Amino acid sequence: MTIRTLLNQRFQTAMSAAGIAGECNPNISLSTREGFGDYQANGAMAAAKQMKMPPRDLAQTIVDNLDLDGIADKLEIAGPGFINIHLSPDFLARQASAQGAVLRQGQRSAENPQTIVVDYSSPNLAKEMHVGHLRSTIIGDAVVRVLEHLGHNVIRQNHMGDWGTQFGMLIAELEEHLGVGQKPEMALKDLEGFYQQAKKHFDDDAEFATKARNYVVKLQSGDQHCRELWQLFIDISVAHSEEIYRALNVTLSHSDIYPESAYNDDLESVINDLEAQNLAAEDQGAMVVFLDELSDKNGNPSPVIIRKSDGGYLYATTDLAALRYRSKTLNADRVLYFIDARQSLHMKQVFTLARKAGFVNPGISLEHHPFGTMMGEDGKPFKTRSGGTVKLANLLEEAVQRASALIAEKDPDLSAEERSEVARKVGIGAIKYADLSKTRTNDYIFNWEAMLSFEGNTAPYLQYAYSRIRSIFRRAGVDADTLSAAILIGEPQEKQLALKLTQFDEVLEQVAAEAYPHLLCTYLYDLASAFMAFYERCPILKDSVSPDLRNSRLQLASITAGTMAKGLELLGIEVMEKM
């Protein structure tokens, strides 16, 4: 149990003993200022207002009824009725040890395990993955790792865009390349270039355009030849994405791909269902739903086209079918979508309509977790120097190259092999961390120097902090993973470090609930800083330090290293023993 939960329970008991209504929340939070204790309970004020009582008096009554024996040393009432809680060092020492034991067990078991479907990455296969897919892929993956670590049943859904009108043009182009004897892998080596070429062909050549349109229809009606060309294209495009996933250290596997085309056979029944329920109606030949729930400020309902007048289905139709599958077949308790903020209206429409139509079970939680745009130094969406889209593959390559140059300068002693390993982990880690550490919903500016800096809230700083702790163990000749010593808390820096260590699970639970990985980043950065403060003030390997104290400090260091490694692993970032 986290300390916050424990305090919450004890306060709830005290509040009900003090005659306060059950719905009043103790409102436990971490103290934000030094001298205000470690945690605060701020619920007395709201309760007092409701009971028309002086808040400080009510706070005193709560404290009188509170049993925090063995947990807190001191309680004080401050300001208008805050209750400051000073935790006992012995309690913190025990909690920190318990945290160390949990880390060694690996994955936890959730008190209420849920089935959680997570839709992330989901690139369109017509083109190569570009920076626009980076955020969904790495933010989604971090949240998935945290949910899984907490013991939930996570089902990844890579909703790849493998269907739609562009594929007519692409397979017609592919057919021509193969016709002159080219191998498919060669023709599609540069997917981005291939797309541009096909597009130009389509725009300039009327005959080709007609054929491409024709192929869309043939493809959708199951024509063998078109299907084969399409499959060839899809397989190569998927392989491109999977290369990126490997390079990015992302956990998506082949079996997580459940693309748009998987719902082809469900689309007609989606329309029929909506029509039968009088939710959809024909409008100028198209099938449209008007949602009053999402009306604009003039009272006009929000239109959702679910079938075009030419009979084609849309992005929203597929998403409705996907939601029905996720709720009724996968039995999801929650469905999380990591998609660009620009698709917020689309998601709102799909969620509203799915609920209205009974496509999802009533208790399900449908969550769009949007994110902002990655910007260049000029404050405009990130582009190449010539204004093109930046391929993810090139970006990752550049990251590793830059990291390699940096490492060569910093650690000339590393062997070439070690250096390439470190460069890969640092370069990829830097890109991921720079993104994950920003509040998801904001835009952010992509900056190589900042993300590769060894100072501040960056991956290299945290990776370096980890290696440094591990080097203490090498010098001490002690195995950090099997060490088992009592923690003794004397110095304030020891207390602060133990307190930080005990908050790991609290942070993970918050990340799981709100899908904000930056909370974990901030935590890890604070933990590293708490360790640095401890390390400066509390010698470990000096002769003057008694064996018990030395082992206690080594124990704190070992739990810190374990927490950092686990935290970074949950962000999808690798650590190393030496750097």
Chain residues binding ligand ARG by CB under 6 A are 119, 122-124, 159, 161, 319, 322, 337, 339
- Label residue 70 exposed, middle or buried (CB < 10 Å: 0-12, 13-18, 19+): exposed
- In whole angstroms, how close is the CB of 324 to ligand ARG at the nearest point? 12
**φ, ψ dihedrals at 41, nearest 5°:** -115, 120
What's the rounded Cα separation, in Å, for the pair 258 and 155? 11
With respect to ligand ARG, which residue has the nearer C-beta, 124 or 563?
124
Tell me the three state secondary structure of residue 41. strand
- Contacts of residue 489, defined as CB under 8 A and 6 or more positions apart, other chains included, come to 89, 90, 92, 93, 495, 498
- In whole angstroms, how close is the CB of 372 to ligand ARG at the nearest point? 15
Q: Where are the beta strands (DSSP E) in 430-577?
A: 444-445
Closest CA to 1 of 510, 570, 519, 503: 503
What's the rounded Cα separation, in Å, for the pair 8 and 367? 27
What does 382-411 look like in DSSP terms, one character per residue? ---TTSPPPBHHHHHHHHHHHHHHHHHHH-
Q: Is 284 left (phi over 0), alpha (psi -120 to 50) or beta?
A: left
- In whole angstroms, how close is the CB of 123 to ligand ARG at the nearest point? 6
Closest CA to 295 of 286, 304, 283: 304
- In whole angstroms, how close is the CB of 346 to ligand ARG at the nearest point? 7
With respect to ligand ARG, which residue has the nearer C-beta, 340 or 421?
340
- In whole angstroms, how close is the CB of 157 to ligand ARG at the nearest point? 8
What's the rounded Cα separation, in Å, for the pair 201 and 196? 9
Length of the chain: 579
With respect to ligand ARG, which residue has the nearer C-beta, 62 or 339?
339
Q: In this structure, what token pair is assigned to residue 174?
A: 């592919």
What's the rounded Cα separation, in Å, for the pair 457 and 450? 9
- In whole angstroms, how close is the CB of 275 to ligand ARG at the nearest point? 23
Q: How many CB atoms lie within 10 A of CB 205?
A: 12
- In whole angstroms, how close is the CB of 321 to ligand ARG at the nearest point? 10
- In whole angstroms, how close is the CB of 523 to ligand ARG at the nearest point? 29
What's the rounded Cα separation, in Å, for the pair 337 and 113? 19
Tell me the three state secondary structure of residue 119. strand
Side-chain half-sphere of 522: how many Cα atoms within 13 Å? 12
With respect to ligand ARG, which residue has the nearer C-beta, 266 or 319?
319
With respect to ligand ARG, which residue has the nearer C-beta, 146 or 366?
366
With respect to ligand ARG, which residue has the nearer C-beta, 339 or 557?
339
With respect to ligand ARG, which residue has the nearer C-beta, 40 or 122?
122
- In whole angstroms, how close is the CB of 379 to ligand ARG at the nearest point? 23
With respect to ligand ARG, which residue has the nearer C-beta, 317 or 552?
317
With respect to ligand ARG, which residue has the nearer C-beta, 43 or 123?
123
Cα distances (angstroms) measured from residue 270 to each of 276, 316, 337, 420: 10, 11, 21, 52
Q: In this structure, what token pair is assigned to residue 6?
A: 């424990």
- In whole angstroms, how close is the CB of 136 to ligand ARG at the nearest point? 7
Q: Are strands 39-41 and 28-30 parallel, antiparallel or unpaired?
A: antiparallel
Q: In this structure, what token pair is assigned to residue 559?
A: 């739990």
**φ, ψ dihedrals at 281, nearest 5°:** -145, 155
- In whole angstroms, how close is the CB of 339 to ligand ARG at the nearest point? 5
With respect to ligand ARG, which residue has the nearer C-beta, 159 or 425?
159
- In whole angstroms, how close is the CB of 337 to ligand ARG at the nearest point? 6
Q: How many CB atoms lie within 10 A of CB 161?
A: 18
With respect to ligand ARG, which residue has the nearer C-beta, 337 or 382?
337
What's the rounded Cα separation, in Å, for the pair 501 and 398? 35
With respect to ligand ARG, which residue has the nearer C-beta, 115 or 453?
115
